[in-house]
């Protein structure tokens, strides 16, 4: 999945251009995502410095014992900006680390978000196998077996959550590669944990809520960027009450067409994954919401159809105002938030929840290499 880090890192690399020597494609020190990669866990849960871009993306829907509903997002991004074997200073900028934290208080009808940017430095940020940890300052995830602990602190809220994976990792795509364009190497290695049983605490404005629910984690690493003809994307993750999960993403082109490299994954109750091509599903936008901050208009209701699964869904959001507004002219704003789904599968009712990300609605995503 092409997540929001491209926009953020594009802004950083533009501002930091005097610090980073430009390289042609033939001089690139980074590997491309190609067929033949051998996934090994827990190694592949952590840093892949041979690839230029990497992210770990946590989203979830939680509820307190008194019925208060929340959505959350915690993301860690790494971008390689230089590789110089002759420099050994811990302050050398070889990678930059971005993190984004958001809390959707659905019951209170408010959306709170913040972000941070660090170099690795002497332990400021990283994703290290030997520590079994991914972190940016005091935002961190610690991993042990199938269990993860997630902690993050913001001005008005904190998260302290334990996530237990109920299914094995899913490798999205075909032959281990999630292809994003017809060009060789314009792809990612894309790992998902599609059903994470979640328990813990959310503190908001001085009050602590004991919460439980289900979360989703995406981890991608790659080196090549999207096709410049692609303007943005719509990405859905859904966990259903029948124990199955669905991920879909649609790449929107600048000419208004849907890119044929859009794709998805269906995961059955036992954890077996089925790849879905662009021709296997339809995403039909419905009701729209216009942001008073950016004036971007987002479709916040969708009809989703997957004929091979005899699945038809109506997807909506409990809160329209889940837009992250960019603080820089270089990076586009985007909508990312909690969603709900109801529909019919194999003739029977089905329901679920998840997350939706929409980019390129304020202006086309501009990717900077």
Alpha carbon 64 to its chain centroid, in Å, reads 24
So where are the chain's domains?
5-359
Q: What is the C-alpha to C-alpha distance for residues 320 and 184, in angstroms, rounded to an integer?
A: 38
Closest CA to 266 of 285, 283, 281, 251: 281
The pTM (predicted TM-score) of the whole model is 0.91
Q: What is the C-alpha to C-alpha distance for residues 246 and 226, in angstroms, rounded to an integer?
A: 23
According to DSSP, the β-strands at 157-165 and 147-153 are antiparallel
Closest CA to 281 of 253, 303, 256: 303
Closest CA to 16 of 89, 73, 103, 93: 93
> Measured between alpha carbons, how far apart are the two ends of the chain, in Å?
18
Domain at 5-359: CATH architecture = Beta Barrel (2.40)
Q: What is the C-alpha to C-alpha distance for residues 310 and 271, in angstroms, rounded to an integer?
A: 19
φ, ψ for residue 284 (rounded to 5)? -115, 110
Please report the pLDDT score of residue 21 as a whole number: 37
φ, ψ for residue 331 (rounded to 5)? -110, 130
Specify the residue for token string 């270089």: 330
Specify the residue for token string 């990678």: 95
CB of 265 closer than 8 Å to CB of 328: no
Q: What is the C-alpha to C-alpha distance for residues 99 and 118, in angstroms, rounded to an integer?
A: 9
DSSP string, 129-193: TTTTEEEETTEEEEEETTEEEEEEE-SSEEEEEEEEESS--EE-SBTTBEE-SSSTT-EEEEEEE
Q: What's the token pair of residue 113?
A: 């978000």
Please report the pLDDT score of residue 16 as a whole number: 39
One digit per residue, pLDDT tens: the chain, 369 residues? 545 544 444 444 433 333 333 344 456 789 999 999 999 999 999 999 999 999 999 999 999 999 999 999 999 999 998 766 566 666 677 889 999 999 999 999 999 999 999 988 889 999 999 999 999 999 999 999 999 999 999 999 999 999 999 999 999 999 999 999 888 899 999 999 999 999 999 999 999 999 999 999 999 999 986 777 888 899 999 999 999 999 999 999 988 899 999 999 999 999 999 999 999 999 999 999 999 998 999 999 999 999 999 999 999 999 999 998 876 554 578 899 999 999 999 999 999 999 999 998 877 665 443
């Amino acid at each position: 999945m092409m997540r929001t880090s491209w926009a953020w890192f594009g802004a950083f690399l533009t501002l930091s251009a005097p610090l980073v020597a430009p390289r042609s494609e033939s001089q690139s020190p980074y590997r491309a995502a190609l067929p033949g990669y051998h996934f090994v866990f827990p190694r592949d849960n952590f840093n892949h410095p041979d690839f230029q871009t990497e992210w770990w993306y946590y989203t979830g829907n939680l509820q307190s014992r008194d019925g208060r509903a929340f959505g959350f997002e915690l993301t860690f991004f790494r971008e390689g900006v230089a590789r110089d074997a002759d420099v050994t200073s811990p302050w050398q900028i070889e990678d930059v680390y971005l993190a984004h934290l958001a809390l959707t208080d659905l019951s209170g009808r408010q959306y709170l978000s913040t972000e941070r940017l660090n170099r690795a430095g002497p332990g400021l940020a990283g994703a290290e196998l030997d520590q079994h940890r991914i972190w940016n300052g005091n935002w961190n995830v610690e991993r042990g077996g199938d269990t993860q602990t997630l902690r993050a602190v913001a001005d008005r809220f904190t998260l302290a959550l334990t996530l237990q994976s109920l299914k094995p990792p899913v490798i999205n795509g075909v032959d281990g590669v999630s292809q994003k364009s017809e060009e060789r190497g314009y792809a990612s290695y894309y790992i998902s944990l599609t059903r994470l049983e979640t328990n813990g605490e959310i503190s908001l404005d001085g009050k602590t809520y004991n919460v439980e629910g289900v979360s989703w984690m995406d981890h991608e690493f790659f080196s090549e960027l999207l096709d410049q003809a692609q303007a943005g994307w719509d990405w859905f993750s859904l966990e259903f009450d029948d124990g199955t999960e669905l991920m879909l993403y649609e790449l929107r082109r600048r000419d208004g067409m849907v890119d044929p490299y859009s794709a998805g994954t269906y995961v059955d109750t036992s954890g077996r994954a089925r790849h879905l091509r662009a021709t296997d599903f339809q995403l039909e936008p419905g009701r729209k919401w216009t942001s008073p901050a950016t004036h971007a208009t987002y479709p916040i209701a969708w009809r989703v159809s997957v004929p091979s699964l005899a699945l038809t869904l109506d997807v909506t959001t409990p809160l329209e105002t889940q837009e992250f507004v960019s603080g820089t002219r270089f990076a586009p704003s985007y909508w990312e938030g909690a969603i709900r789904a109801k529909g019919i599968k194999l003739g029977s009712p089905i329901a679920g929840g998840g997350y939706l990300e929409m980019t390129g609605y304020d202006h086309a995503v501009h990717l900077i290499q």
